[in-house]
Amino acid sequence: MTEPLKIAIAGLGTVGAGVLKLLAKNGELVAQRAGRRLTVTAVSARDKKRDRGVDISALKWFDDAAAMAQEADADVIVELVGGSDGIAKKVCETAIARGRHVITANKALLAIHGTALARAAEAKDVSLGYEAAVAGGIPVIKAVREGLAGNRIQRIYGILNGTCNYILTQMRKTGRAFEDVLADAQKLGYAEADPSFDVDGIDAAHKLAVLAALAFGTEVNFKGVHIEGIRHVSPMDLDYAKELGYRVKLLGVARMTEHGLEQRVHPCMVPLETPIADVEDVFNAVVAEGDFVGNAVFEGRGAGAGPTASAVLSDLVDLARGRRAPTFGVPVDSLARPPVSPMEKRRGSYYIRLMVVDRPGVIADVTAVLRDESVSLEAMLQRGRSPNETVPVVLTTHDTEEAAMNRALKKIGASSHVRETPRAIRIEAL
């Protein structure tokens, strides 16, 4: 067996400790599959004395992760610190400049600086691996870059945030409000004390920007992602979705259109018969549509020590075996810079929920606005009669342009008969 692959790990939180535990338990198996041993030589974290459930006494300790990237006896630096800038960025840049391979689980870093880091790595002839940055333990990066290399990807979409998927699942099953289920998710460790990154769609958008760059051979463009979260989704919407034959999921969707690259994260109504509708709780799923393969569906755990450590090891085994690939599938100079497809140009159908005063003429006024904006109705649901009381009215539309839908909703919301901001959820044809 050849010389071991020497590894230094920056960050010993849940994932970093998970990598050490995986190697301690499955090191022999990994060595057989990699053709050489994988040996951790150095680590860096904020607190040396913290009990992480794994022995690090034989490893060289660095208080400064960037210094470790420069000085450690290592072939590859594994960055598990997190954050789009600061020490995480410095660790990766230092390692690449030093001619070391880099593996990261940091989707925020890649979403903001992925193209620049890929260019630097290519210039130094080192690898930048990031299987663990998107969808946890699901090997979707390798699948898109290598397994689907013979296909033109027409669309890639998925459930990319387990926290949101858990919240929406529990809201649907229990009928409880968003705030109540979020509090439970925080107690269970599925959501952070400040859950904004998750529930406002930012985490999913980071991952989508990386996936889109890989799928379409473009520079990473996080600023081009349209982002909406799930705070406005109510149990009432989930109940109506079921009645209409849908389930609500926070999806990240990317496709190339006549207007440019469309990247969007927002709640969607997905048909109950589609595989992604059955992906529940903290699980993630990604669907890649190829021109020859059709739909390829990948599902699994999107976070946690074990799944993410497993993804880190897949990149390490590739390095040990000498398997190399351009960061985003093609050389950096070949990455395209397509324009951003404006959200207003998106065409599709919509679910609309209105809370209106139940009196004659209200529905006629609503449908007149839709008619004036050339929005065609598919169906309408109205429950019971409570004269002069506020009641829900649910509408679904045929395909229309987002700009027209927005104009219609603005006019409808201005009516004195509409007592709450109209709620719209896009229906995604999958």
Catalytic residues: 207
The set of residues, in sequence order, having a beta carbon less than 8 Å from that of 15 and lying 6+ positions away, is 80, 105, 132, 305, 308, 309, 312
Nearest-angstrom CA–CA distance, 294 and 288:
8
How large is the greatest C-alpha to C-alpha distance in the chain, in angstroms? Answer: 83
DSSP secondary structure string for all residues of 120-159: HHHHTT--EE-GGGSSTT--HHHIIIIITTTS-EEEEEEE
Residue reference for tokens 């990247």: 263
Dig out the tokens for 392 from the structure. Answer: 């829900």
Nearest-angstrom CA–CA distance, 253 and 429:
11
The CA radius of gyration of the chain, in Å to the nearest whole number, is 24
Nearest-angstrom CA–CA distance, 245 and 277:
11
The set of residues, in sequence order, having a beta carbon less than 8 Å from that of 98 and lying 6+ positions away, is 69, 70
Q: Which of 74, 68, 61 is CA-nearest to residue 101?
A: 74
Dig out the tokens for 79 from the structure. Answer: 């960055």
8 A C-beta contact, residue 5 and residue 34: yes
Residue reference for tokens 């691996």: 129
Nearest-angstrom CA–CA distance, 342 and 262:
7
